Structure 1
């Protein structure tokens, strides 16, 4: 009886203790939940403040207003930004969905499906030609019609648009980069780098790339190991572009290897979260950029000393500006020599009491940072994009064995003709004339570029309210010309998912037959890629030597894409198994391979 009464007296105390424990655990859970929520919100605010301009940070302004801050809207454009449920606006999700849409974009980018999976899913949901989303605090509109592309690309500034990449790209390439410059600055930069792409420079690069490709494919590759195409393509394109920009013998091999590694680190950080914290991809990219800038600054200082020494030695020679051939003959050298001549001209004008020129071109030549930013830009544009395109081309041909054999027979016949043209000199490089005769190979290159769509879209920011594809676009919205959607549009290309080079029948490197603004591999209008012919030439040379020396098949069929890659490429790097061609008509070069 006493025990029963004792247990009854203890029961309320136990229940009270159990209730208090549950309450404590619940409070702890909710505390951590809200702490985690506000931690994510803080990170998100940091991201959107570093990736979009102040006029586009609508989420922060709305949060401040919710907390009681009474801020006046600056103008009518601001007011419309808060009300995006306009019947004339493109279908899709407005800025209120920015967190959800950004997380979905990040998820696609880090899942092996690639960032374009995010865009493709919304194209299916909202239909062509236009949809709207919100990424990193800014409103983005994706358009996928040739007419819209024409209106946005044909007259960049006159149409009320300017180029706009995410802030991470500008931070990594530099504010003076050709890719990020707008209007007058962009035109001046294009004029300054145009000599890099003239006929003489193009022929020189073709000869150099031919030698690099021969050494790689004919001498270094064997059947005893698996070849990773992306790695090989990155190596030879980097060599070719660096030779053209900063010289063949300028940098020591170990410095050049570090430079190549740093360039890849920069490209991997272009779509990363802009968190400047140690251990993050973006922070690693910024450190890599700093190392690249240090190497290039040292090279500029060394070149300037050599130029000064040469000119002092040849003071009496009126034509002393040609003496740079003693040491260097590349793009950087030509810029520095042009800078020296412009400086002398300015001094002469001052002595004659005339006003010196102050053009944008002169600014390009006098500012080291502008030169540095654009050398980095040209290396990335020439190396990474071309290597990615070569990799996809090899993959498409591995999946199309019948066409690979057809192409091989055609290229072997051309190899015999080229041998006769070279007067039995087996080491003579392919010429531009030889390349222009490779009609089927060129069709293969163009179809590979269409399907790969290395640059998936081209961003523009609206400078004023306007109409695009029949929809209202607010000032400050970013409008992306969706090149990949155009390249896979069944109304523009029959069976667009099928690798079919014959769709470009009758074209060569200088002519095209498809509908205007339906093939945007290199952009269009005033911002068309300056190096598009160089890219085609490198792809043609690589393809010719590969297909006339080897048969190949994929060693890894995994279709996953590399995470956070600015330019889509296979995570595996496209490993292939090689089989030598035993019936080469021009030389028995495979007999000793094993």
Structure 2
């Protein structure tokens, strides 16, 4: 009997032993991470799993994207533990939980980004600065986004966007995602750093920038072919262009037609060349990636809602702003409540950033679970918006929810709507981002009509920033058909644009 049993098991043992060892190693990995909880806190750790040694659950996140978090929420609720990007982590969801985190800055949490993000953007950037240094940098940068500065930016935004939209109309059919990235990169480069990149250069650099952003949140493995290595290489290309532009800018400083954001900030503080390169890179990162994502999502939603575009046009007409030749002014744009509501609704339903990072500096509790000091905390923006109880029909694209008649934004907890974060570290450039998007919406509404090439609603990829799968090809034509008549039949015969 023993001989028979041994004969039966012998072929299985070589396969069984590695499986048992793997299970044992994963158990030890979980025990190792769980032991880092605070022994002075009686509350248990949040439910969740820690994945496999070293990698944790990072591979699942990279493979499944936002779906990874959605499955975790469905299984564990609004507070759960995981292990991401080399750190034991807790993700928290919901306005009440996010409120506790954001208002606890400097007390229970402090800003913290993965090593890969810090390596790409620089250790001295405002994004990762803390304490007095953060306060100093934020005060300097805020001057570049006050009402006076924004008012100066408006004519340049209008010029770039009018030229771009008319160019799109001349083509008849464009890939909205790539064109939005190029446009926003040109606008951000000009206004933030006074960089004069033509369309071809902007197209190349926006692609390089996308490579950097898409690969920043990765494992800190800098070997050829790794995501982190791709991000670093893309960063180096951008920095070399920034350095060349800074040198050119310095040589012609007295001839500049306006004061860009980088100049405003640098005049208020003492920065060496290396610091200016980091600052320029960070300004471009903040002003381009998230805004271009929101721009393409706006085009996506409104292509399916011509009734909303019509109401935007009616509002422009009401304020005598419908004429495409009419110069825009900051104070006039500020009066457009419905236009502003459309932009807010895009931010609500597709926030460009899914979550923010913090480092826990003092153990505290959420929903009866301990959040241990030393762990990374991710506060959810995307899921918090989706679960907000003050918004009616939360999945519906409905700008009226932000109009004075309903004003759902002001009902309930204000942390139900946090596209720009909150607390002392809310996005300092949020007013500029909203202004850029308003002017783009005004320009599109004044000049053209657009529709999706593919009738089926495209699937949306949510990470790293929301974007339609396939690049969102759209047909676009001028409203003044006599000036620019687009024959959709001929466009169809010519074939669709490949995005």
Query: Is this a same-fold pair by TM over 0.5?
Result: yes
Residue pair 2:193, 2:262 contacting (<8 A) in 1 also: yes
- Cα 1:279/1:479, change in 2 over 3 Å: closer
Are 1:92 and 2:48 matched, yes or no?
Answer: yes
**Separation in 1, partners of 2:215, 2:378:** 21
Q: Name the counterpart of 1:274.
A: 220
1:283-342 Cα deviation digits (max 9, x unpaired)? 1221121222223334444555667xxxxxxxxxxxxxxxx3468743344455x37xxx
Q: Name the counterpart of 1:539.
A: 437
1:40-71 Cα deviation digits (max 9, x unpaired)? x9xx9xxxxxxxxxxxxx95995xxxxxxxxx
* Deviation at residue 538 of structure 1 after TM alignment: 1.1
**Separation in 2, partners of 1:132, 1:153:** 19
Match of 1:180 among 128, 137, 142: 128
Residue pair 1:162, 1:463 contacting (<8 A) in 2 also: yes
**Separation in 2, partners of 1:470, 1:61:** 21
**Separation in 1, partners of 2:51, 2:314:** 55
Q: Name the counterpart of 1:143.
A: 92
Q: Matched residue of 1:180: which SS?
A: coil
Match of 1:566 among 464, 472, 482: 464
**Separation in 2, partners of 1:576, 1:208:** 25
1:417-450 Cα deviation digits (max 9, x unpaired)? 136xxxx8x6442111221222211111101110
- Cα 1:100/1:461, change in 2 over 3 Å: closer
* Deviation at residue 374 of structure 1 after TM alignment: 2.0
Gaps of 5+ in 1: 1-18, 45-57, 63-76, 109-114, 308-323, 340-360, 583-587
Match of 1:103 among 19, 35, 59: 59
* Deviation at residue 590 of structure 1 after TM alignment: 3.6
**Separation in 1, partners of 2:315, 2:232:** 47
Q: Matched residue of 1:522: which SS?
A: coil
- Cα 1:105/1:220, change in 2 over 3 Å: closer
- Cα 1:432/1:280, change in 2 over 3 Å: same
* Deviation at residue 198 of structure 1 after TM alignment: 2.0
Are 1:296 and 2:195 matched, yes or no?
Answer: no
Match of 2:369 among 445, 467, 471: 471
Residue pair 2:73, 2:80 contacting (<8 A) in 1 also: yes
* Deviation at residue 143 of structure 1 after TM alignment: 1.6
**RMSD value, Cα:** 3.7
Match of 2:77 among 127, 136, 144: 127
TM-score (norm 1): 0.70
**Separation in 1, partners of 2:213, 2:63:** 19
- Cα 1:404/1:256, change in 2 over 3 Å: closer
Query: May I ask how many residue pairs the two structures share in their alignment?
Result: 473
Match of 2:116 among 164, 168, 184: 168
* Deviation at residue 398 of structure 1 after TM alignment: 2.2
**Separation in 1, partners of 2:296, 2:42:** 44
Q: Name the counterpart of 2:261.
A: 331
Q: Name the counterpart of 1:198.
A: 146
**Separation in 1, partners of 2:247, 2:477:** 48
Q: Name the counterpart of 2:279.
A: 374
1:149-198 Cα deviation digits (max 9, x unpaired)? 222212411x2211112221111111112212222221121122222112
Q: Matched residue of 1:165: which SS?
A: coil
Q: Name the counterpart of 1:209.
A: 157
Q: Matched residue of 1:544: which SS?
A: helix
Are 1:549 and 2:447 matched, yes or no?
Answer: yes
Q: Matched residue of 1:548: which SS?
A: helix
- Cα 1:553/1:507, change in 2 over 3 Å: same
Residue pair 1:507, 1:513 contacting (<8 A) in 2 also: no
**Separation in 2, partners of 1:589, 1:468:** 62
1:506-543 Cα deviation digits (max 9, x unpaired)? 1999x962432111001111111111111111111111
**Separation in 1, partners of 2:452, 2:37:** 50
**Separation in 2, partners of 1:368, 1:78:** 44
* Deviation at residue 497 of structure 1 after TM alignment: 0.8
Q: Name the counterpart of 1:285.
A: 231
TM-score (norm 2): 0.83
Q: Matched residue of 2:216: which SS?
A: coil
Residue pair 1:149, 1:517 contacting (<8 A) in 2 also: yes
Q: Name the counterpart of 1:238.
A: 185
Q: Matched residue of 2:467: which SS?
A: coil
- Cα 1:333/1:121, change in 2 over 3 Å: same
Q: Matched residue of 1:176: which SS?
A: coil
